[in-house]
């Protein structure tokens, strides 16, 4: 029978809490993943699970079966009380399952559209991990080939990013380039057109014919893309708005554009 951990001084529990901090995640190459679906996604994508952390009293039947299967495969399992798990969880309704997972960014060379109409999302200095996770989730839903982080950004393995992505962070290649110059060089080498966005851009959403291979470059939450970066785009697109709002949330704007790209891929018009 498993020993049930109830103390926050347990080494596994202390490590989970340490991994809430970016410096520890970067140093150790590991992150904590909460929830049944994100943990399953990590396992199915081939990420190494160092430790499952479970509260049996909170597990649903299907999740309990998944834990049993992973235990049979040799995955280490630490059992904790429901009370302790609730204190560790980042969710209002803890599922009773978390994992310490070895994480890694892809290489930028691995993130490229395939043949035919395809897209990549490039995020310039995105600071909010929730926005980042939501964009990764939408990139997955719309069939994007990957996400490129440009310059200093939020950590894609921040708990808020993993939660917002619903585990898509483990299915969509995410890589980093140092700045917009490296991004444009990356695109040029691969025959990828860079689409930039601005309220003043000449081409409007829903009326745009996109190149076959596209990198959709989105700016920061507050300021968007710098004017000189917008001008460097092979295609400049705006999202029309009729109300009093000056702009859309970054994740919303990116999602709208990704679905417009998908529309054009499907219909050609």
Average of per-residue pLDDT across 226-231:
95
Q: How far apart are CA 78 and CA 70, in angstroms?
A: 12
88-108, pLDDT tens digit by residue? Answer: 997 778 999 999 999 999 999
The top-scoring range by mean pLDDT among 90-104, 158-172, 236-250 is 158-172
User: What is the pLDDT of the chain when averaged over all its residues?
Assistant: 93
33: domain CATH number is: 3.30.1330.30
Contact 165, 133 (CB under 8 A): yes
Domain count, the chain: 2
**Is residue 237 situated within a structural domain?**
yes
pLDDT at 215: 96
Domain of 34?
A: 11-102
Q: For the chain, percent helix, then strand, then coil, each to nearest 5?
A: 40, 20, 40
pLDDT at 243: 85
**Is residue 170 situated within a structural domain?**
yes
Please say if the pLDDT value at position 70 is more than 90: yes
Shortest CA distance to 215 belongs to which of 141, 118, 106, 138?
118
**CB neighbour list of residue 250: distance below 8 Å, 6 or more residues apart:** 126, 128, 131, 135, 218, 219, 220, 221
**Is residue 97 situated within a structural domain?**
yes
Whether residue 79 sits in one domain with residue 145: no
Determine what percent of the chain is predicted with pLDDT higher than 90: 80
How many beta carbons lie within 10 A of that of residue 1, not counting itself? 4
The DSSP element (H or E) to which 140 belongs, if any, is helix 129-141
192-207, pLDDT tens digit by residue? Answer: 999 999 888 888 888 8
Whole-model pTM above 0.85? yes
Q: How far apart are CA 70 and CA 77, in angstroms?
A: 9
């Amino acid at each position: 029978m498993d020993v049930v951990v109830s103390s926050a001084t347990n080494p596994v529990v202390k490590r989970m809490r340490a991994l809430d901090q970016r410096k520890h995640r970067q140093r150790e190459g590991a992150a904590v993943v909460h929830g049944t679906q994100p943990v399953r996604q990590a396992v199915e994508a081939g990420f190494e699970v160092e430790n499952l952390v479970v509260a049996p009293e909170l597990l649903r039947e299907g999740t309990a079966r998944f834990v049993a299967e992973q235990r049979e495969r040799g995955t280490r399992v630490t059992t904790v009380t429901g009370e302790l798990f609730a204190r560790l969880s980042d969710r209002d309704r803890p599922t009773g399952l978390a994992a310490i997972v070895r994480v890694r960014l892809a290489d930028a060379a691995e993130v490229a559209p395939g043949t035919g109409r395809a897209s990549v999302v490039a995020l310039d200095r995105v600071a909010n991990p929730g926005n980042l996770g939501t964009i990764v989730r939408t990139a997955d839903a719309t069939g994007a080939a990957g996400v490129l982080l440009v310059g200093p950004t939020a950590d894609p393995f921040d708990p808020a990013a993993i939660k917002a992505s619903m585990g898509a962070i483990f299915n969509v290649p995410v890589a980093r380039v140092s700045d917009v110059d490296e991004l444009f060089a990356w695109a040029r080498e691969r025959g990828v057109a860079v689409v930039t966005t601005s309220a003043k851009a000449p081409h409007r959403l829903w009326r745009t014919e996109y190149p076959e291979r596209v990198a959709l470059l989105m700016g920061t939450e507050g300021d968007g893309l710098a004017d000189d970066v917008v001008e460097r785009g092979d295609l400049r697109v705006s999202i029309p708005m009729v109300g009093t709002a000056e702009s859309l949330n970054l994740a919303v704007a990116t999602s709208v554009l990704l679905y417009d790209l998908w529309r054009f891929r499907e219909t050609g018009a």
